[in-house]
Structure 1
Amino acid sequence: MGWCHEQDEYLLVYEYMPKGSLHDHLFGNRRTLPWNVRYSTALALASALKYLHEVQSHVFVNTQLRTQRSNPVGTPGYVAPEFRRDGRATTQSDMYSFGVVALEIACGVRNFRNNNDHRQLLKDVWQKYKAGKILDASDKRLKKEFDPKEIECLMIVGLWCVHPTANDRPTAGRVIQYLNFQAPLPNLPPALHDPEFLSNSDINGRNTQ
């Protein structure tokens, strides 16, 4: 609904949600969301990012500050590695966060778990994707009451959005095309989230292989 910047702190103002947030329904004691609601929520999030990145970026963010460093803030597990390292927020770091949420929506599992491995969900989905069993990562509470093509699409898009190379992540507009099945899904590199691939990403977020 609004935002303000005061004394080096940014504040976002959201509409009050009496029925609980997405987090409450995915991980709290609220009613489990049916698949059609989850998928439409993912599309709405992507649409909001597209609006911020392409329409209102000149109002929401001072472009003169884009190259300056800041102290990274955010919940561990949702913050892109290059933002955590360099302190520079970009559209690509936004897409990383979207990718994490997309996987959580499909899997019903929180990526951030007790200050341990913030990439555990990503690793689990990636291993099932490589084994050709990505649907096994879907939220068991859905009891398979979902469109297999949609949930597979959302998880593959999520895996792509958390690409370790920032410049290789899709834009919000591209994500919307995939989720609406207006473009074929990408073929993910076979070692995309393997340890050896991650170790070859340089400090600028570009793969050095």
Structure 2
Amino acid sequence: MIYNYITIEGNIGVGKTTLANILAEKLNARLVLEQFSDNPFLSKFYKNPEQYAFPLELSFMAERYKQLKELIHTRDLFKSLTITDYLFTKCLLFAKVNLPDEEFRLYQKLFDIIHQQILKPELLIYLHAPVNKLQANIKKRNRSYEQAIPDEYLFNIQEMYTNYIKQHNIKAVFVDASNADFINNPAHVEVILDILSKEYEHGQYYTSLP
């Protein structure tokens, strides 16, 4: 394996956690998954975003920082590769969408201090799917608090991700996940494994699934 640390990213419902789990098993990798199910503000945020956006984003940033900070201080002697299903920068992107300007400026000051201490992945796999596909996946996994997410919100998140990656010239492979089925179609997983077998210069690359 060329890489020691890779990240799978994408919009809500695109399948990043599913893919991260499959890759970790196949590659005997250390897996770091975002912890969201026990966040006390998440369901409240979807019901009342204006009231709960700021505590939600702060709590997510604290949890992500705790998880990723440990990567620097701990080593797994039996697993040389680490896979995560989120970028720490996700904090800033979601905050930009969810917070009013004054709160976002305060949030960004905190983010800038913390971000410097976080290990950056060597390669980003970004799964991209249209909003209608995301909504179908969200309905299928049936988390009650997600069922009323508007299309516009998903579109804004998508735009925020793609613009950030391109503006910062992050080493990333965009994968068209419009027809992705990583659980039932081994060929789709093979495409990702092939990506991970290659070295890339900084910049963005694009591929699709068969």
- Interval containing the TM-score (normalised by the shorter chain): 0.3 to 0.5
The alignment's TM-score, normalised by the length of structure 2, stands at 0.32
More strand by proportion, 1 or 2?
2
The alignment's TM-score, normalised by the length of structure 1, stands at 0.33
Q: Higher relative CO (CA 8 A, sep ≥ 6), structure 1 or 2?
A: 2
